[in-house]
């Protein structure tokens, strides 16, 4: 139950575990619990991670404008407040949303920024980040790099 969640760090970590351990569908099934917990004044999901999850859900649903906005917001927040380990992931999400929207040069810029993050491939969500990177590269026409 949501009353057992004692801290925003725990809640944010749980959101990431559900999202990346079990996927978007599982997160969708748990959103009501996260929403209920988020209404407890002492517990808040970190804004950057919330917006990263929003971007992932919007991409999964095919809502590219919402995914682009949420990913950009997540980048802005995570660059300032952390957690820095998730910066490559939100950059890859933003790149994919931009590439799917036909914004090739902006997508390439986000991929460049992602690769500039030290140890970006060692992110806790490295496999998902690399999948989004490959998707973005494919969409911008760089099929060999995507492979």
Phi, psi at 98, each rounded to 5°: -65, -45
* Euclidean distance between CA atoms 128 and 138, whole angstroms: 15
pLDDT band at 44 (very low <50, low <70, confident <90, very high): low
pLDDT digits (tens, 9 = 90+) for 5-19: 445 566 666 777 777
The per-residue pLDDT for 65 is 96
In this prediction the pTM is 0.74
Q: Are 130 and 121 in contact (CB under 8 A)?
A: yes
- Taking the CA atoms of 119, 73, 20 and 61 in sequence, report the sign of the dihedral they define: negative
The confidence score (pLDDT) of residue 94 equals: 96
Q: What is the pLDDT of residues 55-106, one digit of tens each?
A: 888 888 889 999 999 999 999 998 988 778 888 989 999 999 999 999 999 9
Q: What's the confidence (pLDDT) of residue 52?
A: 85
């Amino acid at each position: 139950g949501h009353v057992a969640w004692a801290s925003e760090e725990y809640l944010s970590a749980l959101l990431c575990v559900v999202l990346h351990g079990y996927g978007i569908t599982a997160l969708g099934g748990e959103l009501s619990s996260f929403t209920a917990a988020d209404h407890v004044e002492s517990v808040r999901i970190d804004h950057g991670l919330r917006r990263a999850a929003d971007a992932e859900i919007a991409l999964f649903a095919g809502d590219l404008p919402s995914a682009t906005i949420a990913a950009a917001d997540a980048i802005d927040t995570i660059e300032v407040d952390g957690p820095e380990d998730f910066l490559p992931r939100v950059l890859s999400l933003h790149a994919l949303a931009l590439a799917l929207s036909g914004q090739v040069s902006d997508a390439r810029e986000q991929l460049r920024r992602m690769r500039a993050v030290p140890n970006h491939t060692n992110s806790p969500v490295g496999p998902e980040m690399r999948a989004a990177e490959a998707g973005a590269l494919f969409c911008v026409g760089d099929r060999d790099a995507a492979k």
